[in-house]
Structure formats: structure tokens, C-alpha cells
């Protein structure tokens, strides 16, 4: 078995099978606004992430940010200074107004699920209390609506379809009354690449797309291995530099690098993503031991997990259907006592092997 192990330490964020996520593509705000109603979340830590299609996590509502219960208005930004910001409501209708830097984006909701028993019912009740609705917005429509027309009649050759879609989506950036949200340099580079302001694409005659694709991929791969992008931890573990993940500005190498392995990654105040990059192979009678010197330091509402992926970046299939372990698993010390549920903070191990694990490792 060849695999690459990924250790993700979260303040409050993703796990594999123990979070009940709800996510959607926000309805286009070309002619509408979007209301988000957040119910009370007793006991269960949660997060609501707002992310634009380019991958920028511009706002996080949730336990960590002490978000209040109530209704929130999501509307296109009218100024570059308030794009991606949340402003307290001036009336009793909304708790706050969120100014979206794009008219299209993602709304991802994660609620921590601690067990598969009564906690599932608690989380389901929370889900039922969460709602989103569209309301009419005053003023002219901004960009295209999110419907089939946005993707229809793209008659470019297959290799150029992506560029055609980029041109279409470029229209979903709301115009502001001061500076354009994309930097002028970015607009100029898109123009040189053939992306027009009217949502059209025309391949420059001097461009070989196949060679451009190879050059871009090579550049991104080299960048992901460089100390510009990653920070060395120890024992073969690295981590994307926190300042280069979640929001990217005009650092398109970082944007592309994160999209390759963790599209829609969160900002560093929400999650950290240590990764073990070295590939390893396991025979039938071989094993690896992943040793923790103590409990990973997370906040009171935080959690962590370690997940194993194969060389194709897919979860490693196994007979016990276990893909992730963390602070909500029945981890034990060598003496059999639970790691969580006691005040002890000594070293503990996670065993990785192809054969059936011993009884003192399998959760009871």
C-alpha cells in the first residue's frame, strides 16, 4: 500500500465522517440579496464559512467568532473598502450585513458531531433551524444570473472551455463605486490571456495552450515544494505558511497550489493543515506508528483529526471502514486509559497497518 499521511489540526473545522456538513452555492446576487438565519447552537461548536469561487475564505461565522443568533443579510459589495466585511445592522431586521466580494460563492456549514447516538438528533435539530432565502434587491442587476445560460453556448474547443468559463464568471465580480475589486494588473493579465470584459474569450494566436498548461503545472508543483510556500515542521511534516492559505490576493501561485490539494481551505484563524508528504509502502506484516507527544493544542471548541490518503489523494480503503481518527475517537494510552476523558497529557500512538489492529487500539 502506497500512501501519504495528512494530519489536519483544526481550531474548528473539517473532519472526515464525524461532521454533518451542509453546503450550497449561494444563489446569484445579480438581482437579489440573500438572507441567512442562524439558529441557536447549544453545546455543538459550528462554523459557517463564506467563500468565493476563486477560493478566498472572506468571512467565518461561528462559535469561534461568537456569532449571535438571528438573521444576516448577504449583499454585493458596493465599495472595495467593505468587500468581504460584516457590518452591524442599523435596524432590528438583521443582526449584520455581509458585503460579498462576488455575486456567486459558497456557503459551507459545519457542525461538530461528537458521537453517533443522541448527538445526531441534536445536530439535525440545528440543521432544521438554519434557513436561507432570497429577496429582491433594489437597483440594476449585477452580472449574470446563476442558471443554465451561464454555461450554455460555449463553443470553444474542449481545451479552451475552461478559459471560456473564466470569462463568463469574470462578470460575477460586482462593480464598485471606487476601485475595481480585482487589481488592475490582474485585469491586464486576463486581457493578455484573451479574457474580455464582456464575458468573452479569444485565444491569442501566439499562445500554445498545451505548452502553457505544462509550464503552469510545473511552476505550481515547484512552488508547493519550496520554502516560499511551506514551512518545515519536523520529522517529515510540513505546513502551508498560514499567511498563504485561505485568502490569496494576487498570489496566484499560492491560490493554484491550495486548489490542487485543498480547494476551499479556511483561513489560519480557523484551521491549520500540517501534511506528511513522504510516500511510504506497507506490506502485510508491516506497520507504522504515529506518535503524539501529547494532546494537540486546540481551543475549547476546537478539534483535530488525522486522515490517511493514497497516492491518488483518495481515502485509503480498508475492511473496518476507518478513515480518520482524532479527539472524538476512543484513543487510549498504552495502559488502556482513554486519552480524552482524563486530565493526563502524555504521549499516545496511532497505529497504521494493513492487517487487523490489536484490540488495545480498536475503539470499543
The average pLDDT across 113-136 equals 77
Q: Does the pLDDT at position 56 exceed 50?
A: yes
Residue 48 is placed in which grid cell? 459557517
Residue 170 has pLDDT above 50, yes or no: yes
Q: Lowest-confidence range among 23-37, 55-69, 156-170?
A: 23-37
Predicted TM-score (pTM) of the model is 0.80
More confident residue, 89 or 31: 89
- H-helix or E-strand spanning residue 27: none
Does residue 29 contact residue 103 with C-beta atoms inside 8 Å?
A: yes
How high is the pLDDT of residue 181? Answer: 59
Q: For 191-244, what is each residue's pLDDT tens digit?
A: 888 887 777 888 888 888 888 889 988 999 999 989 999 999 888 889 999 999
The span from the first CA to the last CA of the chain, in angstroms, equals 26
Q: How confident is the model at residue 180 (pLDDT cuts 50, 70, 90)?
A: low
**What's the mean pLDDT in 57-61?**
92
Q: Phi-psi category of 118—alpha, beta or left, where left has phi over 0 and alpha has psi -120 to 50?
A: alpha
Residue 103: the pLDDT is: 81
For position 34, what pLDDT does the model report? Answer: 81
Q: Give residue limits of the domains in the chain.
A: 17-136
The percent of residues above 70 in pLDDT, for the chain, comes to 80
Q: Give residue 167's pLDDT band: very low, low, confident or very high (50, 70, 90).
A: confident
Residue 122 has pLDDT above 80, yes or no: no
Q: How confident is the model at residue 4 (pLDDT cuts 50, 70, 90)?
A: very low
Q: What is the pLDDT of residue 12?
A: 35
Strand 280-281 to 2-10 pairing: antiparallel
Evaluate if residue 177 carries a pLDDT over 70: no
The mean per-residue pLDDT over the stretch 80-87 comes to: 86
As a whole-number percent, the residues of the chain with pLDDT over 90 amount to: 16
Least confident of 48-57, 129-138, 288-297: 129-138
- pLDDT at residue 20 in the model: 31
**Between vectors from CA 287 to CA 285 and to CA 291, what angle results, nearest 5°?**
160
- Residues 168, 151: contact at Cβ < 8 Å? yes
**DSSP-derived 3-state class of residue 212:** helix
To which residue does cell 432565502 refer? 133
Reported for 191-197, long-range contacts at CB under 8 A and 24+ positions apart, including other chains, are 193/163, 194/163, 195/163, 195/166, 195/167, 195/170, 196/167, 197/170
Instruction: Name which residue leads in pLDDT, 295 or 34.
Output: 295
The residue ranking higher by pLDDT, 3 or 122, is 122
Q: What is the pLDDT of residue 10?
A: 37
Whether the per-residue pLDDT at 50 is higher than 80: the answer is yes
Cα angle, residue 165 at apex, residues 164 and 169 outer, rounded to 5°: 125
Instruction: Tell me the three-class secondary structure of 88-147, residue by residue.
Output: ECCCCCCCEEEEECCCCEEEEEEEECCCCCHHHHHHHHHHHHCEEEEEECCCCCCCCCCC
Closest CA to 93 of 118, 72, 114: 72
* Average pLDDT estimate for 249-264: 89
Work out the mean pLDDT of the chain and round it to a whole number.
Answer: 79
- pLDDT at position 318 over 70: yes
- Band (pLDDT 50/70/90 cuts) for residue 64 is confident
Instruction: Provide the pLDDT for residue 164.
Output: 79
Amino acid at each position: 500500500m502506497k500512501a501519504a499521511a495528512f494530519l489536519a489540526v483544526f481550531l474548528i473545522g473539517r473532519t472526515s465522517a464525524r461532521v454533518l456538513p451542509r453546503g450550497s452555492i449561494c444563489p446569484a446576487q445579480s438581482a437579489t440579496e440573500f438572507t441567512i438565519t442562524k439558529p441557536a447552537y447549544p453545546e455543538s461548536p459550528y462554523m459557517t464559512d463564506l467563500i468565493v469561487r476563486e477560493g478566498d475564505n472572506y468571512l467565518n461565522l461561528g462559535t469561534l467568532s461568537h456569532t449571535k443568533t438571528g438573521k444576516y443579510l448577504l449583499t454585493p459589495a458596493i465599495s472595495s473598502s467593505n468587500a468581504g466585511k460584516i457590518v452591524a445592522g442599523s435596524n432590528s431586521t438583521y443582526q449584520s450585513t455581509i458585503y460579498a466580494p462576488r455575486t456567486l460563492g459558497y456557503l459551507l456549514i459545519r457542525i461538530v458531531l461528537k458521537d453517533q447516538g443522541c448527538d445526531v438528533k441534536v445536530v439535525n435539530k440545528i440543521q432544521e433551524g438554519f434557513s436561507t432565502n432570497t429577496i429582491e434587491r433594489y437597483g440594476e442587476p449585477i452580472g449574470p444570473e446563476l442558471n443554465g445560460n451561464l454555461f450554455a453556448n460555449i463553443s470553444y474547443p474542449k481545451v479552451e472551455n475552461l478559459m471560456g468559463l473564466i470569462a463568463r464568471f469574470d462578470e460575477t465580480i460586482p462593480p464598485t463605486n471606487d476601485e475595481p475589486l480585482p487589481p488592475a494588473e490582474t485585469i491586464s493579465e486576463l486581457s493578455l490571456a484573451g479574457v474580455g470584459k464582456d464575458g468573452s474569450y479569444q485565444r491569442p494566436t501566439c499562445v500554445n495552450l498545451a505548452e502553457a498548461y505544462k509550464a503552469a503545472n510545473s511552476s505550481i508543483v515547484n512552488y508547493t515544494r519550496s520554502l516560499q510556500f511551506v514551512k518545515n515542521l519536523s520529522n517529515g511534516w510540513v505546513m502551508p505558511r498560514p499567511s498563504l492559505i485561505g485568502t490569496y490576493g494576487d498570489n496566484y501561485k499560492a491560490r493554484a497550489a491550495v486548489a490542487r490539494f485543498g480547494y476551499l481551505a479556511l483561513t489560519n484563524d480557523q484551521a491549520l493543515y500540517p501534511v506528511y508528504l513522504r510516500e511510504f509502502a506497507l506490506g502485510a506484516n508491516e506497520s507504522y506508528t504515529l506518535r503524539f507527544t501529547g494532546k494537540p493544542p486546540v481551543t475549547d471548541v476546537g478539534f483535530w483529526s488525522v486522515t490517511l490518503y493514497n497516492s491518488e489523494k483518495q481515502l485509503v480503503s480498508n475492511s473496518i471502514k476507518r478513515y480518520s481518527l482524532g479527539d472524538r475517537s476512543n484513543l487510549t494510552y498504552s495502559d488502556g486509559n482513554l486519552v480524552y476523558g482524563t486530565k493526563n497529557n502524555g504521549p499516545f500512538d496511532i497505529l497504521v497497518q494493513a492487517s487487523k489492529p490489536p484490540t488495545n487500539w480498536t475503539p470499543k
